[in-house]
Amino acid sequence: MDLAILSVSFLVFLLLGVPVSFALGLSCVLTYLHEGLPAATAMQSMISGMNAFSFLAVPFFILSGELMLHGGIADRILRFAQTLVGHFRGGLGMANVVACTLFGGVSGSPVADVSAMGGVMIPMMKKEGYSADYAVNVTTHASLAGALMPTSHNLIIYAYAASGTAGVLAGPNIMVKGVSIGDLMFAGLLPCIVLMVCMLFAAWWVAKREGFPIRPDGSHSDHLDKFAGWHAVAVACVAALPGMLVVAIILGFIIMGVATATEAAGIAVTYSLLLTFIGYRTMNWSKLVKAAAKAAKTTGVVLLLIGVSTMFQYIMAILEIPDKTAELLLGATTNPLIMFLLINLILFLLGTFMDMASTILICTPLFLPLAIQMGMGPVQFGMVMLLNCALGLNTPPVGTTQFVGCAIGNVSVEQVMKTILPFYGALFAVMAVVTYFPAFSTWLPSLLKGMPVY
């Protein structure tokens, strides 16, 4: 009965248009009351969930990304990407992929990536003869790399959700004592590179099939004689390099043991302020206020989700929901390959109508113990989780990044969905690689630590 109250009330609140954080919190409170638990218990669990030192990294990463977004970093990264790959067939599309990947490493947010790069690239691509749906698909799919980058606050959210996850699955307790945020930061680098390569191929293949131009002047010539030269590439790289160094700074301090992930995030904010105010001189007080206000709003939403998810995890433990979920899936199959496919499918479907943070916080306690039993470690599962959630950002009915891209491109979601398959194919290829080849997410953290990482 309690499980029915929790699930039905949550679905009803979502159908009524209540935001996910409030819907989850209200359904948890109703279940608490039906269980006879004091209402104060719900508030205590909510506050204790938000009271963690590691969560200081969340507002720092968000603020650093907003500072870079409002500080003109995107324009320099875009010029570098255009000089590097802009001379190929569908050059603007390929430059868009590179620029979105690089700026995703700076901002750590797919939505910010689409807003910054899409605002420039989508109108430019339409003007130069590319279809609006192609421009939107390239931008929105390439921007998903931001969810896996070291600056992504979703990595911290997953680390929190994974720590302390436990479940009784067909025997002994499976306990995740903690997941290193540093390991997660390094784990996302190789999948990001694979994602960029797959997106470059998809952008080139569609451009070649549709006969899109090679160069921004609209030329359809196959002679690649307009390459700006490596000197121009080097000049553009030097101009963009200070902005892109924020990723190296974060990872470098963590490798050297100088700072924790939280402290490195604070250093990234300081660096972003110095770079945009003094280095590039593109930041002013008006932009700073806008960046800080947006960062504060996003941080509030994230922390509220973390608080209500703690309530949810407490209820799940009482009702033994992870165990029941595991029993249900294990009743369908005990083959790890099929089990991972089912988990991916469920995560993808849930991600289509919930935002990324909500999906991570709700689904990690449900599926991580089962994934561990099937042989997938928490670091690898984190990459699988983030990829599925990122894919959900680009799929209706929620599809935040897709709606932003469509608004910029002035094209309907229906039109974009008609031509989305090649880009979906690239994403699913990356998903398969990360799911079934653990080394793509565990090799780099393992190499840096000198010992296996699970």
- Helix or strand or coil: residue 155? helix
Picking from 340, 362, 441, the residue whose alpha carbon sits closest to that of residue 158 is 362
The first and second tokens of residue 184, run together, are 């997660």
Cβ-proximal residues to 170 (8 Å cutoff; 6+ apart), any chain: 326, 330, 373
Q: How far apart (Å, rounded) are the C-alpha atoms in residues 275 and 277?
A: 6
Record the tokens describing residue 338, joined without a space: 């099929």
CA–CA separation, 428 and 121 (whole Å):
25
CA distances from 387 to 150, 282, 321, 326, 345 (A): 14, 33, 24, 22, 12
State residue 9 phi and psi, 5-degree precision: -65, -40
Three-state DSSP state, 14: helix
pLDDT value of position 250: 85
**What pLDDT, on a 0 to 100 scale, did the predictor assign at position 219?**
44
pLDDT at 220: 43
Going by C-alpha positions, the residue among 417, 406, 408, 347 that lies closest to residue 382 is: 347
Distance CA 166, CA 369 (A): 6
- Residue 298, pLDDT score: 84
**Is residue 262 a contact partner of residue 56, using CB atoms and an 8 Å limit?**
yes
* CA 234 – CA 240 distance, rounded (Å): 10
Contact by Cβ (8 Å): 267, 259: yes
DSSP H or E run through 233: helix 230-256
| Cβ atoms < 10 Å from Cβ of 344 | 21
Q: In the prediction, which pLDDT does 141 show?
A: 92
Q: What is the C-alpha separation between 181 and 150, in angstroms, rounded?
A: 9
| Nearest C-alpha neighbor of 25 from the set 312, 365, 302 | 312
* 150, 105 contact by CB (below 8 A): yes
Residue type at 275 in one-letter notation: L
Mean pLDDT for back-to-back runs of 10 residues, the chain (454 residues): 81 83 84 80 76 77 84 82 77 87 86 83 85 92 90 88 55 55 90 93 90 58 58 86 86 82 87 90 90 87 80 76 78 89 89 81 87 91 92 79 87 89 92 93 81 43
Residue 360 · residue 161 · CB < 8 Å? yes
**Contact between 68 and 295 (Cβ < 8 Å):** no
Question: Are 120 and 78 a contacting pair, CB within 8 Å?
Answer: yes
Q: How many CA atoms lie within 13 A of 278 on its CB side?
A: 6
C-alpha–C-alpha distance, residues 107 and 361, integer Å: 21
Residue 348 corresponds to which tokens in the numbers above? 């993808």
Cα torsion angle, 37, 43, 44, 47, sign: positive
**What does the pLDDT read at residue 216?**
46
Task: Point out which residues pair with 168 in neighbouring strands.
Answer: 173
- Alpha-carbon Rg of the chain, whole angstroms? 22
Tokens of 100: 């979105």
